Amino acid sequence: MLGPAHSAATYRIPARCRVEWQHARDRSPEIFPDLVFRQLFDAASSTYTYLLGDAGTRQAVIVDTVFEQHPRDHALVRELDLALVAVVDTHCHADHVTGAWLMQQTTGCRIGVSRRYQPPVEGADLTLDHGDRIAFGGRHLEVRATPGHTEGCLTLVLDDRSMAFTGDALLIRGAGRSDFQHGSARTLYRSITREIFSLPDACLVFPAHDYSGRTVSSVAEEKTHNPRIGGAADERDFVEFMENLNLPHPKQIDVALPANLRSGRPEDGKVPRPADWGPVRQTYAGLLEIEPEWVAEHLPQVHVLDVRQPQEMQESLGRIAGAQLVPLNELKARLGEIPKDRPVVAVCHAGMRSGQATVILRGGGLTRCANMRGGMLLWSQLGLPTERRSGGS
């Protein structure tokens, strides 16, 4: 059983906003009662990442992350107010680099992977095998060893057996190749039939990959319709099918495998940052943002761009001293007026219009920019200095 959760990275939310967020979170509909569940997709590798959280305690696990998608995944964990307990790989992937090490660095969670890999995966501090449980709040994932694609493949089954995360063992209308990484078609047949097809027919099957846009299947579907192992197929049928796939060598294997054997840690051991000029972070919407307090402390080092309308300058929120006023509806035509010698921080009333301003700035080649989170509303709530002035630059 996994031990106490590590706290997720947090940021300060004003009291009023915090109450509104709590109400919104409590009203947020979830497909599965008492469970926060999200399925995420990486188009480059056709990889699915799964986030599961206990709706009551907010403890969570994330399964099969992708290195390049870490900013997205971490933002979702943060925005859903989840405390990540573990990041788990169903196997040592050959087609992409895992984001496990990055997630551990940013949230303090544990890294889970099969203990059957030899030598052991570097950095993994939650080694797993058949019968183990990964607890998150009042929920858990049951670990089932399903080798065959690789020797360390795991299937993770939700406690009520309503979902199974099958990695590359069982795919939707397919099964993972078994011609490398100590794979075995015979072993894979036994893993699928004994450990996955023994689950309830209604159990949903969520694989690590799909290359045709399919998102979910069920045990009943795959037992009936899977062309490799379903219907009346026996072990001989499956093995001969798998041994004649004639698939090309995975394109990323020479990069992915060495990196994944160290949990995705880069060779330089550094966490990639979205910006080199300040503590910028990416939101789940894909926007880059920065905190008002940091902006207030570094005003001489940044250029503040206010994209509100001129009449808003006389309202109670005021403006930041030295800010350049360029209304959002004029920004694209006036990009040439924006200085390029300093990073640009876009601001507006609540941080919405200024988010779109950063999209326009980037489209115009001003890539060193970020949205100030919360806009002038949060700036004012934090008691940061403002001035009143008529419209103009």
Q: 3-class SS at 67?
A: helix
Does residue 78 sit in helix, strand or coil? helix
The Cα 252–Cα 49 span in angstroms is: 18
Q: With H, G, I as helix, E, B as strand and everything else as coil, classify residue 116.
A: coil
Please answer whether residues 148 and 183 qualify as being in contact, where contact means their C-beta atoms are separated by less than 8 angstroms: yes
pLDDT digits (tens, 9 = 90+) for 109-144: 999 999 999 999 999 999 999 999 999 999 999 999
| Model confidence, pTM | 0.89
DSSP characters for 327-353? -HHHHGGGGGGS-SSS-EEEE-SSSSH
The yes-or-no verdict on residue 338 having pLDDT over 50 is: yes
Tell me the three state secondary structure of residue 63: strand
**18-27, 110-119, 281-290, 305-314: least confident range:** 18-27
- Beta-bridge partner residues of 143: 156
Residue 20 has pLDDT above 80, yes or no: no
What is the rounded CA–CA span in Å between residue 205 and residue 108?
A: 29
CA dihedral sign of residues 311, 312, 313, 316: positive
- Domains of the chain, start order: 15-260 (3.60.15.10), 281-381 (3.40.250.10)
**Percentage of the chain modeled with pLDDT above 90:** 87
Query: Which band of pLDDT confidence, cut at 50, 70 and 90, is reported for residue 11?
Result: very low
CA atoms of 317 and 245, how far apart (whole Å)? 65
Are 46 and 69 within 8 A, CB to CB? no
Q: Among 332, 373, 329, which Cα is nearest to 349's?
A: 373
Q: How far apart are CA 121 and CA 262, in angstroms?
A: 6
Please give the Cα distance from 174 to 302 (Å, whole number). 53
Distance CA 163, CA 157 (A): 6
Instruction: Give the confidence band of 163 by pLDDT, cuts at 50, 70, 90.
Output: very high
Gap between the Cα atoms of 377 and 349, Å rounded:
6
pLDDT band at 33 (very low <50, low <70, confident <90, very high): confident
Chain centroid to CA 256: 18
Residue 174 has pLDDT above 70, yes or no: yes
Model pLDDT, residue 29: 54
User: Tens of pLDDT along 61-78?
Assistant: 999 999 999 999 999 999
Q: Which residue has the tokens 């002035």?
A: 389
Side-chain-side CA neighbours of 60 within 13 Å: the count stands at: 28
pLDDT-based confidence at residue 8 (cuts at 50, 70, 90): very low
The whole-number pLDDT of residue 5 equals: 36
Closest residue by Cα to residue 373 from 254, 280, 250, 273? 280
Q: Is a pLDDT exceeding 80 seen at residue 25?
A: no
Tens of pLDDT, residue by residue over 251-274, are 899 999 999 999 999 999 999 999
Q: CA angle, 262 as apex, 260 and 266 as ends, to 5°? A: 85
| Average pLDDT, integer, range 340-364 | 98
DSSP for 272-297, please give it.
--S-SSS--EE-TTS-EEE-HHHHHH
pLDDT band at 391 (very low <50, low <70, confident <90, very high): very low
How far does Cα 218 stand from its chain's mean position? 24
- The continuous run of DSSP H or E covering 156 comes out as strand 154-158
- State the average pLDDT for the chain: 92
Reported as a pLDDT band with limits 50, 70 and 90, residue 200 is: very high
Identify the CA nearest to 297 among candidates 279, 281, 285, 313. 279
